[in-house]
Amino acid sequence: MLLHGTDALKQAAATGHALPGFVAYNLETVQGITAAAETAGTPVLIQAGSGSFKHAGRKALMRLALDTAEHSTARLGVHLDHSRDLDEITACLEAGYTSVMVDGSHLPFAENIALTKEAVRRARHHGAWVEAELGALPGDEDVSTGAVAKTATMTDPAQAEEFVDATGVDALAVAVGNVHGFPRDPVRLDLERLAAIHAAVPVPLVLHGANGLPVEELHGALARGVAKVNVNAELRRAYLEAVNATLPAALPGSDVVSVWAAGRDAVRDTALEVIGRLSPRAEGGDA
């Protein structure tokens, strides 16, 4: 079923766990994410951004994600990831997306506020919630470049307070040392900065690029207001490794379905692992 509104996000924030925002590109990734949510019985967001739309076609992927969510027994939000384009945001809202991310993190502060405010205005009209970003993460959203955190612009707590107040966003993505993709060097989060942002803003925080984070650091983030964690590279890697392993046996008979099915199942299994990591209390963690 479609997961509307911010209750699940707020509940995650209140109980020290996080909703996973899994990025999907095609039928098999949507199926794998959905199967994981059905098995876990916890709410999950299926997300796609411009990179996914470029591959699958916006309408096709939108309809696929929405139809799958509507017909699933799991509670699934359908979320637009990283969009700088108000037309794209409007198209997703009109199609029935339950939330959108407007990404003005590349803009000067005042322009980020203006873009985000307009996205919030449009989303309210459709009953959807909005995530925005302040500060910038290094790395690419669709291909792992090995970028390092040093190139990031960290989120400033005082600016975050002003930003959330001025825009009315429902969730804020932050840059606190996190990196898109698999970083070359180990990543350390600035948990003090995260705590200061959490104290300054009244909305749940979002962590992008949590790949390769030591689990205690991830749980440290969940204890400091992070209630949504985006996951892409880990699913992409699992999909590709499964395809690679299945290919030799599939090639002689051109058995393409066995390759796609292996990719789908690998996405499901990896998503399930991530869901477990994002529920520290359920697994006896300390967050």
**Residues near ligand 13P (CB under 6 A):** 23, 81-82, 141, 180-181, 208-209, 211, 230-234
Asked if residues 281 and 261 have their Cβ atoms less than 8 Å apart, the reply is: no
The residue among 137, 140, 97, 138 whose CA lies nearest residue 119 is 97
| Shortest spacing between CB 240 and ligand 13P, in angstroms | 13
What is the Cα–Cα distance from 214 to 229, expressed in whole angstroms? 14
| Shortest spacing between CB 142 and ligand 13P, in angstroms | 8
Q: Is 208 annotated as a binding residue?
A: yes
Annotated active-site residue in 67, 81, 185, 255: 81
Nearer residue to ligand 13P within complex by CB, 140 or 255: 140
**Residue whose Cβ sits closest to ligand 13P:** 208
Q: Is 255 annotated as a binding residue?
A: no
Nearer residue to ligand 13P within complex by CB, 187 or 252: 187
Cα three-residue angle 158-134-152, rounded to 5 degrees: 105
Nearer residue to ligand 13P within complex by CB, 162 or 212: 212
Nearer residue to ligand 13P within complex by CB, 81 or 170: 81
| Shortest spacing between CB 80 and ligand 13P, in angstroms | 11
What is the Cα–Cα distance from 25 to 58, expressed in whole angstroms? 10
Q: Is 133 annotated as a binding residue?
A: yes
Q: Where are the alpha helices (DSSP H) in the chain?
A: 7-15, 27-40, 50-56, 58-71, 86-95, 109-125, 157-167, 191-200, 215-222, 233-250, 256-277
- Other CB atoms within 10 Å distance of the CB of residue 148: 15
User: Does the active-site annotation cover 81?
Assistant: yes
Burial 121-136 (b: 16+ CB within 10 A, else e): ebbeebebbbbbbbbe
| Shortest spacing between CB 247 and ligand 13P, in angstroms | 24
Task: Copy the structure tokens of residue 229.
Answer: 């964690």
Q: Is 125 annotated as a binding residue?
A: no
Q: Is 190 annotated as a binding residue?
A: no
Q: Please state the residue numbers annotated as binding site for Zn(2+).
A: 82, 103, 133, 180, 208
Q: Which residues are catalytic?
A: 81
